[in-house]
Amino acid sequence: MNEILKAQFFVDDLSDDQKRVITNINDYIKQGLQNTPSSVAIIEGAAGTGKSVVLMELVRQYMTDKRYKTSLVVNHPELYKAYQDIAESIPNMKVNSIRRPTSLINYAQKNHKKYDIIFVDEAHLLYSKSEPYAHYRGQNQLTDLMALAKVVVVVYDFDQVFQSKMYWDKDLLFKTIGSHPHKSFNMNFQYRMVASDEQVAWMDDLTAEKPLKPFPDNSDFDFKMFDTAGAMFDTIKKRNKEVGMSRMVATSGFPRIDGRHNVEMDTFNLPWDEWDPQRTHWAKREGSITQVGTIYTLQGFDLNYVGMIIGPSFGYDPQTDTMTIIPEKYSHKEIFKKRKDMKFTQDEYRTFIANVLNVLMKRGKYGLYLTAYDDALRKRLLEITKK
């Protein structure tokens, strides 16, 4: 197994918290296998709490046991590639048992297949509406998965919802589950970042448009605010040579210049990440150091250091001393697609945009480097950082 993937998804020495959650879910799965209708186990936690580590330990237990008919699904293309790589290195685990949810649903319905357990990572990316363009013609992917398995184990983080077609909140989740037995397993412990609780809270407060304050200096987490994206990129390249897995990332909204749709700011000018059918996921490719990562390539993955450019859709309000969200400057229109079955308010769209920034800032295990496209926001962040 690739050592980078092994380090992210498997831990030799699980923490007591992780062991407790795994034991409790195991008990619930065994109970659910004996009963009807299908049961749902909900693993819930914020970014970096080790949800995927817990899930993969359960996957390793059940998907290598011939007594059970199982599948692992994930709707994130880069994460799907990573799980295929992992499966090839685990004895008795079949690569073809890992699928995108639409693929599994269509295959199982066509061939009248049923499962004991279906594991769903990043379940907040399941379609909650029909999406014919992506060959999904059902109404809700979780509903369809529950109809295929005795037990469905889903990983949810409602703060990682950022598109209307994949919209989830707790009300919709429990409405979808309906009368099916279900149980939540909450993970509220931070494992990805070496950052302190106060430093993680600073990131949350920033995206929640709360008054700005200096970044806490109470851990080994490396935080720096940069006046230019060019200087930040130089530092990221240095970190990448030293420890690897260090990348530039940004939020949407950068204007087209002379027909180019790159991320351009001061001396910095790089293209966005590109979807690539190769099995190597974006963050692990050497060439991705010369591209800018997004939620579509990095959700669910760890980096060592992140160089985060807060894009043009974020500004600064001196009256409230807060970062502000400007939806009309957010250029990725998938976020704003309308649905027939529900309407979204401007505040909900703002939350989608805030979630993207929050998730990207938390990709770095050892450090976050930050700058902002908006002059006033960048100036204010530099002021409070120097205090």
The CA-based dihedral angle spanning residues 233, 159, 182, 99, taken in that order and rounded to the nearest 10 degrees: -40
Domain-embedded: residue 56: yes
Clarify whether residues 183 and 289 are in a common domain: no
124 and 19 in a common domain = yes
Residues 180 and 210 in one domain: no
The 10 Å Cβ neighbour count of residue 186 is 11
Which CATH number do you get for residue 134? Answer: 3.40.50.300
Burial of residue 49 (number of CB atoms within 10 Å: 0-12, 13-18, 19+): buried
What pLDDT does residue 271 have? 95
Q: Are residues 231 and 162 in the same domain?
A: no
- In the chain, the number of structural domains is 2
Task: Kindly indicate the confidence band of residue 1, based on its pLDDT and cuts at 50, 70 and 90.
Answer: very low
For the full predicted model, state whether its pTM sits above 0.95: no
The answer on 125 and 248 residing in a single domain is no
Read out DSSP for 61-124? HHHT-TTS-EEEEES-HHHHHHHHHHHHTSTT--GGGEE-HHHHHHHHHHHT--EEEEEEESGG
Question: Domain boundary at 159, 187, 215, which?
Answer: 187
Q: Check whether residue 170 and residue 208 sit in a common domain.
A: no
**Domain containing 125: what range?**
3-187
54 is a domain residue: yes
Q: Are residues 279 and 362 in the same domain?
A: yes
| pLDDT of the residue at 150 | 97
Domain limit, last residue, from 161, 187, 213: 187
Specify the amino acid at residue 173: L
Domain boundary among 123, 152, 187: 187
Q: Does 192 map to a domain?
A: no
pLDDT 10s digits, 123-145: 999 999 999 888 999 999 999 99
User: What digits encode the pLDDT tens for the residues 307-357?
Assistant: 999 999 999 999 999 999 999 998 877 778 788 888 888 899 999 999 999
Give domain status of residue 82, yes or no: yes
